[in-house]
Chains A and B, each alone.
Chain A
Amino acid sequence: DSGVTQTPKHLITATGQRVTLRCSPRSGDLSVYWYQQSLDQGLQFLIQYYNGEERAKGNILERFSAQQFPDLHSELNLSSLELGDSALYFCASSARGGPWAPRAFFGQGTRLTVV
């Protein structure tokens, strides 16, 4: 058990809908990262939050947004969903950000299927 909790584990929704994925980081970790894993794009970094503030952005679509709350849990919001958004979405946390972040602990992922 990595200590990072993601809910839900599975999500099936229709095109055009909006969903929210939730992540609770390990106790004490301030940094949260979101990743998307799809067959064609592989594992891609989406966005990072550190202690409530957005710190870095990767290949995140404008239809996607995220936030980190005062209790440090994070939510990834995906809207106007398309079939191509079907993927495994991972959350990871680490004690701090920056190039010296020693390791990231991953949650078990949320499998999103858009039909």
Chain B
Amino acid sequence: AQTVTQSQPEMSVQEAETVTLSCTYDTSESDYYLFWYKQPPSRQMILVIRQEAYKQQNATENRFSVNFQKAAKSFSLKISDSQLGDAAMYFCATGGSQGNLIFGKGTKLSVKP
């Protein structure tokens, strides 16, 4: 069974600084996706970034990038130039065999002005 672990329940970052959120996972799938979702106070689940496991190159989306270490089953999210609007819950997830998502418990990110 797939599992996702986020070891940091809460993180804090100063505006304009960089923060890294950690995630480890376990899966029996040979090919899979990894995701970071953002959930602001509005509750909407917003896809931040996606990584295909077969790709060695780390995914980037503007200020968001990942450090994907397949052998270590690690998938961390780096947010550069943090903005107040980045404050939210961040969930790491992997894709199950039917395309369903298995989520970690989440990391609450606070951004200090």
Chain A residues within 8 Å of B, Cβ to Cβ: 2, 31, 33, 35, 42-45, 48, 50, 55-56, 58, 88, 90, 92, 94, 96-106, 108-109, 111
List residues of chain B with CB within 8 A of the CB of A99.
29, 31-33, 95-99
- Let me know if B103 and A33 touch, CB within 8 A: no
Contact check, B33 vs A42: say whether CB atoms are below 8 A apart.
Answer: no
Count of chain A to chain B residue pairs whose CB atoms are closer than 8 Å in the complex: 75
The yes or no answer to B56 lying at the interface (CB within 8 A) is: no
Task: Provide the main secondary structure of the chain B interface.
Answer: loop
Contact of A55 with B43 at beta-carbon distance under 8 Å, contacts A42-B103, A43-B91 already known: no
B45 contacts A by Cβ under 8 Å: yes
Q: What would 19 A/B residue contacts be, using CB atoms closer than 8 Å?
A: A33-B101, A35-B101, A42-B106, A48-B100, A50-B98, A56-B100, A58-B100, A92-B101, A94-B99, A97-B99, A98-B97, A98-B98, A99-B29, A99-B33, A99-B95, A99-B96, A100-B99, A102-B33, A109-B43
Of the candidates A88, A102, A111, the one whose C-beta lies within 8 Å of that of B50 is A102
Complex Cα distance, B39 from A109, in Å, reads 12
User: Nearest 8 CB-CB pairs, A to B?
Assistant: A101-B99, A56-B98, A106-B45, A43-B103, A97-B99, A45-B100, A42-B105, A97-B98
Interface size class of B (residues with CB under 8 A): 20 to 34
Residues of A within 8 A of B32 (CB): 99
**With contacts A35-B101, A42-B104, A45-B100 known, what are 15 further pairs, Cβ within 8 A?**
A2-B44, A42-B105, A45-B101, A45-B102, A48-B100, A56-B96, A88-B43, A98-B98, A99-B31, A99-B95, A100-B99, A103-B33, A103-B35, A104-B47, A104-B101
B→A interface (CB under 8 Å):
29, 31-33, 35, 42-47, 50, 91, 95-106
Across the interface, which residues of B come within 8 angstroms of A101, CB to CB?
Answer: 33, 95, 99
User: Are the CB atoms of A100 and B43 closer together than 8 Å?
Assistant: no
Closest to B52 in A: A102
